[in-house]
Every structure is written in structure tokens, then in C-alpha cells.
Amino acid sequence: MYLRVLTTLAFGAALLAGAAQAQDQKPNPLDAVPDKMPFSQAYGAPINLASSQQVLAAAEKEAKSRGWALNCAVLDSGANLVAFIRMDGAQLGSIAIAEHKARAAVKYRRETKAFENGIQGGFNYLSTLDDVIASRGGIPLVRNDKIVGSIGCSGGTGSQDEVVAKAGAGVINK
């Protein structure tokens, strides 16, 4: 009998604690339903090799002016590699990361900095999405309001990668 009373009291206390916790929880920001679809920019015709090379030339110029050795990749609007550079001395591990940043930027139609901010802001679900990389340095390339490709840079800090990617993207994103 004594055990039954203790069990009932423990169960009741657990229910009360759970109810109190539920009242203290803040609303989940992911429950908000926006009026408009975010990141819904349309895809356009794929960037060509000549334009890709111009993007990479601008990125390389920026990196060299700062003494940074980076890897930079340009993908088309279908997330296919069009052009790539590995600057002398750039780390090998960043070859794949540069392409990954560009792939995430074009597939999800946003800068990879958005994923970095989201993960740091508590939106851990982002790490469950295919092909996401939560590190800045991936930027969509937009011509005539359509995504034609992306650039991804890697090999420095995230902020260095982003500076170089933005310099390259500036050739297309005007």
C-alpha cells in the first residue's frame, strides 16, 4: 500500500512538472507561417564558361590582393561544376568544401551564411537537410532576377571565404 501511494505521488509530481515546463516554453519560431515563400527566386539559364571564368578571375584577384590562397568553384543553375581554381598553396581539404558551398547556395537559393546564422541561432534542423553546409562563402549568382549559378570559396576563415566569394559574385550580381 505504501509503495502504491508513493508511486501515485511520484506520477502526479511528474505530471505537474511536465505541465509547468510546457507553460514555460517559448513558442517555436518554426511554427510561424510566412505569407510569402522565402528564397523563391527563379532559376535561369545556366552560367556559361566565359562568365564563370570572369567570376573566378575577380575572386582570385581579391584573394591575391589580400595574400590569401583559396579554392573557388562556380556551378551552374543545375548545381553542376562549370569552372574551378585552386590557388597556389590553397589547402587540399577545401577543394571539396568550395564546391559544396557553391552547391548549397544554388540548390537552396541563398548564401550559405544563412545556414551558418541559422545553426548558431538554434535552428539545428538545418543540419538534417541534404547538402547543407553551415559556413559562409557560398553565394548564388543572379542575372536578370534569375539564379544562373553560384560561387563557393574555401581555404580561409569563413569571413575570408565570404569576402572573396562576394568579389567574384559582384561580376554577375549587379
Domain assignment present for 42: no
pLDDT reported for residue 38: 80
CATH code at position 159: 3.30.450.150
pLDDT reported for residue 27: 84
Domain assignment present for 141: yes
Domain assignment present for 153: yes
pLDDT 10s digit of each residue in the chain, 174 long? 555 644 554 555 555 555 555 567 888 777 888 888 888 899 999 999 999 999 999 999 999 999 999 999 999 999 999 999 999 999 999 999 999 999 999 999 999 999 999 999 988 889 889 999 999 999 999 999 999 999 999 999 999 999 999 999 999 998
Domain holding 24, by residue range, is: 2-29
pLDDT reported for residue 32: 85
Q: Are 56 and 152 in contact (CB under 8 A)?
A: no
C-alpha cell at 99: 564546391
pLDDT reported for residue 4: 61
pLDDT reported for residue 105: 98
pLDDT reported for residue 2: 56
Domain assignment present for 40: no
pLDDT reported for residue 6: 45
| Cα gap 50→102, rounded to integer Å | 18
Are residues 99 and 13 part of one domain?
A: no
Domain assignment present for 6: yes
Are residues 113 and 80 part of one domain?
A: yes
Q: What angle do CA 87, 89, 81 make, to 5 degrees?
A: 35
C-alpha cell at 109: 537559393
Task: Please count the structural domains in the chain.
Answer: 2
Domain assignment present for 8: yes
Are residues 76 and 6 part of one domain?
A: no
Are residues 58 and 114 part of one domain?
A: yes
pLDDT reported for residue 12: 54
pLDDT reported for residue 8: 56
Domain assignment present for 44: no
Are residues 68 and 122 part of one domain?
A: yes
Domain assignment present for 43: no
Are residues 72 and 22 part of one domain?
A: no
